[in-house]
Chains A and B, each alone.
Chain A
Amino acid sequence: MSIDTAPSAGATALDATSNVGTRRDMLRRLMMTVGPILVALVLAGCILLVVGVDPLAYYGYVLEKGLLSPLGIQQTLTRMAPLLFLAAGLIVAFRAGMWNLGGDGQFLLGAVTAAASAPFFVEIMPAWLALFCAFLAATLVAMIWSLVPALLRAYQGVNEIITTLMMTFLGTSLANVLVKLVFRDPGTTVPQTRTLPVEDRLPRLFDTTITSGLVLGLAAIIIVHLVMTRTAFGLKLRVVGANPRAAVHAGLGVPGLTIAVFAISAGLAGLAGAVDIIGVQGNVRADWNPAYGLAVIPAVFLARMNGFAAIGFVFLLSVLSIGGESAARRLGVPNHFTLVLVSIVLIVLALAEYVDHRYNQSRKA
């Protein structure tokens, strides 16, 4: 029979030590994140060497175009706007333990809704109200699109990974159909929606080409972070995510919360589509699918579903994708090499996590 001998202690005396612990923990986390990224860059460089491309030139172009040149950084920051909304939606879902992988379908339906409604609304109401209504419409449509997986998961326990993925195929096709058959602009020969006049789009920041959608995206992800970490609602969602049986035991209405999670997550994905259309593109062309939803998932994982860290990773992803497009053009590397790079980062991070875990285990034993 063992009897606990650990010293009983009041909370106050211990808080100081635990703060030091947290700081060391933070530093370790940072090391565990930055180290593997560097390793991944080296590994990706080796791949570039194998295909006969100078990795330093590649990374140089990526940095120059994605980060250092004035035009490039403005494009990077503009690209961040929809990605931030998507990341915010994923944070809500993942923290609640629901794997909404239907971001692209929800994004495109939001985009098409915004593209179809914004030119209509600006003709009948003041511009700010019109844009607000278009955002609202995009959010609602995406939310409704998420109802099927949400209801199936909440009441039948159907795995949402499968249903959201299937719904994303349907959503992508439906968005296309809507562009080609319903909202097609009669004034053009290429199938696309009516174009929102530049002066009616979201204003640009100061004298740059950066969209003010960036500010909205930052606000969205910070609000989501605070809601998830500081409020009762966020705590309920996290309980559902961390231990669904404890949620039932504690008397939380799990089905209702599940539907709320899907609605919020999909709504934010819809907003991402709207902000890209109303802020930047102005219309949706048929067969347009940037697949941002899937690209953001690794960034959110790398950030461990922390909103502030996600901002950093979304920035990194934007630099890589804007810079990577340019570097790919100049060096003849396929455009998708960005994805290769991101996936190598992810694999190395996972390996680092595993090694770290094994190290901790062996130290304890």
Chain B
Amino acid sequence: MSNTTPSPVGDIVALEGVTKRFPGIVANDSIDLSIRPGEVHVLLGENGAGKSTLIGMLSGLQQPDEGRILVDGKPTPITSPRQALALGIGTVFQHMMLVPTLTVAENLLLGGPWWQRPRTEELEARVAEISKSLGIVVKLHARVSELSLGEQQQVEIVRAMVRNSRLLILDESTSMLTPQGIEELGALMRRLVEQGLAIVFITHKLKEAAAFGDRISVLKLGRKVGEIPPERFRALGEQEIISEIVELMFGKRKDDPEAAERPLGSVRAEAAPLLQVADLEVAATENAPGLSAISFDIRPGEILGIAGIDGNGQKQLAEALAGQRAATGGSVRLAGAAIETLSVSERSRLGLRYLTDDRLGEGTVGTFPVSINFFLKQVGAAPFWRNGVEQRTEIDRRAGELVREYDVRTPSLKTPVARLSGGNIQKVLLARELAEGAKVVIFNKPTYGLDLANTLASRQRIGDAAQRGLAVLLISTDLEELLSICNRIAVMANGSLVGTVANAEDARTRVGRLMIGLAA
């Protein structure tokens, strides 16, 4: 950790009240940020917290709707990636941006003026100088495809240095590295800031934030909820930093409108479980963690919450239960009947509903009208289809009912569903999954990206569903949400459930402890 007290150095780049909106979502809500030379500034937050949007604006891919960006103290609009580079802002994106079939040198020479011969000697000298000062080895004449991911990342960093970057943005750079590669990257970042560079390091891993950072800003649902400045950072030990971050990320805010008191419905303890999962296993894939030994029961009227940092297998669990992902072992019983070998549609017919978090990606067909999207999971079923022929009046009648009942705000039933706001698309999904014959409902991040009014309305629907006697599995990364409506909360980490706590007074701290790897 650097121990030179930063004299009042100016910010290289500063954000003042930057706001960015997308239809139905406020991705960044008046964010202030100061990025200084000689500092690793960690941006920490869940998926969807607004990190990528922030990076997009710094690297010139997106423009803020409100607020301004200052470069060297002067308000400067960053209108294109090219301009960002010219200002000395280099970005290493999450996914590698090198051409695998070219050599490292060729990759570094890309982007030069097309009418000049590539200046290979100049490059070699420059790279030698940079790599020497950083203590790394760059194989200029190796093909990129022959390099490890860690080496490729070093090449990207060197590329940013060759272009005289003063600010280096590393977007989720550790997500594809081995533990050793992560260590090396940490050491490299330290050497870079010692040379006077500023680094913005984006991650959602708490340990890395504490190990590599000088200053930490925590983003949550588009807002900056806290910052640990370097002075405080140095004063705290790693565990203290982590617990402070957890407090910032999951802690209760004062005057929080979401923090309703717990109106827990009573669950009859003697009722037989509607959903029983025992030793569920799913094999890990290239880009998704596997599941191991997942077991839980949910009784009628009960809401079981699944808490955890995003990307720890929550989506895989939901998909395995719904039948979209093959399980490699274990059993799933719905009202006593084994369903683990059934297809998606057979499980659905038995009353299992899965409300996906990917509303436009898989939940709906964006170009199809609202009316048809209500019945996507019932295509061919009476009374909406008779002998396979669409009954348009019947579909429109029922769709009209659902639109009113679920307060879907749409110009017409024929409107393509993708034109609606996120909240209204979610209402379409809620109507579809909760309407008829549901017994067990899996909600995956049901309020993700919604505004407050729609968030509260969705939670109300989930609570009502449980009141009707359905068994509810609620997956969420928002601890507040889980605490407000769940009966019990299980914590997921690395593809397994590390503990389950009843939603009592001390649930917040106990879940928080489980999430950072301590015993509850």
List residues of chain A with CB under 8 Å of any chain B CB: 1-4, 6-12, 14-15, 17-18, 230-233, 235-236, 238-239, 242-243, 245-246, 248-253
The residue in chain B whose Cβ has the minimal distance to the Cβ of A14 is B412
* B346, B347, B365 — most chain A CB neighbours (10 Å): B365
B376 touches A8 (CB 8 A): no
Any chain A CB within 8 A of the CB of B451? yes
Q: What are 6 A-B pairs at a CB distance below 8 A? A: A3-B451, A9-B412, A232-B385, A233-B388, A235-B379, A250-B376
B413 touches A11 (CB 8 A): yes
A251 touches B345 (CB 8 A): yes
A230 touches B390 (CB 8 A): yes
Selected from A11, A17, A233, A252, the residue in CB contact (under 8 A) with B345 is A252
B362 touches A246 (CB 8 A): yes
Any chain A CB within 8 A of the CB of B389? yes
Any chain A CB within 8 A of the CB of B289? no
Per-residue A-contact encoding for B336-370, CB less than 8 Å = 1, 0 else: 00000001111110000010101001111111100
Report the bound CA distance from A168 to B368 in whole Å. 33
A242 touches B368 (CB 8 A): yes
Given the known A-B contacts A1-B451, A232-B385, A246-B363, are A251 and B348 also in contact in the complex, defined by CB atoms under 8 Å?
A: yes
Any chain A CB within 8 A of the CB of B423? yes
Per-residue A-contact encoding for B372-408, CB less than 8 Å = 1, 0 else: 1000110110000100111000001001100110011
A236 touches B454 (CB 8 A): no
Q: Which residues of B contact A230 (CB under 8 A)?
A: 389-390
Q: What's the nearest-Cβ distance from chain A to residue B15, in Å?
A: 20
The residue in chain A whose Cβ has the minimal distance to the Cβ of B373 is A246
Selected from B24, B344, B407, the residue in CB contact (under 8 A) with A248 is B344
Q: What's the nearest-Cβ distance from chain A to residue B14, in Å?
A: 25
Given the known A-B contacts A235-B372, A246-B362, A251-B377, are A11 and B390 also in contact in the complex, defined by CB atoms under 8 Å?
A: no
B454 touches A231 (CB 8 A): no
Per-residue A-contact encoding for B406-436, CB less than 8 Å = 1, 0 else: 0111011110000001011000000000000
Assuming A236-B380, A251-B348, what are 13 further A-B pairs, CB within 8 angstroms? Answer: A4-B423, A10-B400, A17-B412, A232-B380, A243-B362, A243-B364, A246-B362, A246-B376, A249-B363, A251-B345, A251-B346, A252-B379, A253-B345
B324 touches A253 (CB 8 A): no
Any chain A CB within 8 A of the CB of B74? no
A239 touches B343 (CB 8 A): no
B388 touches A3 (CB 8 A): no
* A10, A242, A243 — most chain B CB neighbours (10 Å): A243
Any chain A CB within 8 A of the CB of B518? no
Report the bound CA distance from A262 to B206 in whole Å. 50
Report the bound CA distance from A232 to B453 in whole Å. 36
Q: Which residues of B contact A6 (CB under 8 A)?
A: 409, 411
Q: Which residues of B contact A7 (CB under 8 A)?
A: 409
The residue in chain A whose Cβ has the minimal distance to the Cβ of B385 is A232
Selected from A12, A231, A239, the residue in CB contact (under 8 A) with B389 is A231
Interface of A is mostly: helix
Report the bound CA distance from A242 to B372 in whole Å. 13
Report the bound CA distance from A9 to B344 in whole Å. 34
Number of A-B contacts defined by CB within 8 Å: 116
Selected from A1, A245, A253, the residue in CB contact (under 8 A) with B343 is A253
Report the bound CA distance from A90 to B244 in whole Å. 61
Given the known A-B contacts A11-B399, A11-B400, are A1 and B424 also in contact in the complex, defined by CB atoms under 8 Å?
A: no
Report the bound CA distance from A11 to B344 in whole Å. 31
The residue in chain A whose Cβ has the minimal distance to the Cβ of B452 is A1
* A17, A252, A253 — most chain B CB neighbours (10 Å): A252
Any chain A CB within 8 A of the CB of B21? yes
Q: Which residues of A contact B343 (CB under 8 A)?
A: 251, 253
A246 touches B365 (CB 8 A): yes
Any chain A CB within 8 A of the CB of B294? no
Any chain A CB within 8 A of the CB of B26? yes
The residue in chain B whose Cβ has the minimal distance to the Cβ of A7 is B409
Q: Which residues of B contact A14 (CB under 8 A)?
A: 411-413
Q: Which residues of A contact B356 (CB under 8 A)?
A: 249
Q: What's the nearest-Cβ distance from chain B to residue A158, in Å?
A: 19
Q: What's the nearest-Cβ distance from chain B to residue A24, in Å?
A: 14
Selected from A242, A249, A250, A253, the residue in CB contact (under 8 A) with B367 is A242
Given the known A-B contacts A4-B424, A242-B365, A245-B361, are A250 and B412 also in contact in the complex, defined by CB atoms under 8 Å?
A: no
Q: Which residues of B contact A9 (CB under 8 A)?
A: 411-412
Q: Which residues of B contact A10 (CB under 8 A)?
A: 400, 403-404
Given the known A-B contacts A1-B26, A8-B407, A243-B366, are A249 and B344 also in contact in the complex, defined by CB atoms under 8 Å?
A: yes
The residue in chain A whose Cβ has the minimal distance to the Cβ of B413 is A11
Q: Which residues of B contact A17 (CB under 8 A)?
A: 412
Q: What's the nearest-Cβ distance from chain A to residue B255, in Å?
A: 14
Report the bound CA distance from A11 to B377 in whole Å. 22
B344 touches A4 (CB 8 A): no
Q: What's the nearest-Cβ distance from chain B to residue A245, in Å?
A: 4
Q: Which residues of A contact B348 (CB under 8 A)?
A: 251
Q: What's the nearest-Cβ distance from chain A to residue B464, in Å?
A: 19
Report the bound CA distance from A261 to B487 in whole Å. 47
The residue in chain A whose Cβ has the minimal distance to the Cβ of B319 is A249
Q: Which residues of A contact B421 (CB under 8 A)?
A: 4
The residue in chain A whose Cβ has the minimal distance to the Cβ of B389 is A231
Per-residue A-contact encoding for B17-41, CB less than 8 Å = 1, 0 else: 0000100101000000000000000
Q: What's the nearest-Cβ distance from chain A to residue B425, in Å?
A: 11
Given the known A-B contacts A235-B379, A245-B362, are A2 and B26 also in contact in the complex, defined by CB atoms under 8 Å?
A: yes
Per-residue A-contact encoding for B288-301, CB less than 8 Å = 1, 0 else: 00000000000000
A8 touches B412 (CB 8 A): no
Report the bound CA distance from A249 to B8 in whole Å. 55
Given the known A-B contacts A1-B26, A2-B21, A3-B453, are A239 and B396 also in contact in the complex, defined by CB atoms under 8 Å?
A: no
Report the bound CA distance from A10 to B399 in whole Å. 10
B380 touches A243 (CB 8 A): no
Q: Which residues of B contact A8 (CB under 8 A)?
A: 403-404, 407-409
Q: Which residues of B contact A245 (CB under 8 A)?
A: 358, 361-362
Report the bound CA distance from A12 to B400 in whole Å. 8
Given the known A-B contacts A246-B364, A249-B362, are A239 and B379 also in contact in the complex, defined by CB atoms under 8 Å?
A: yes
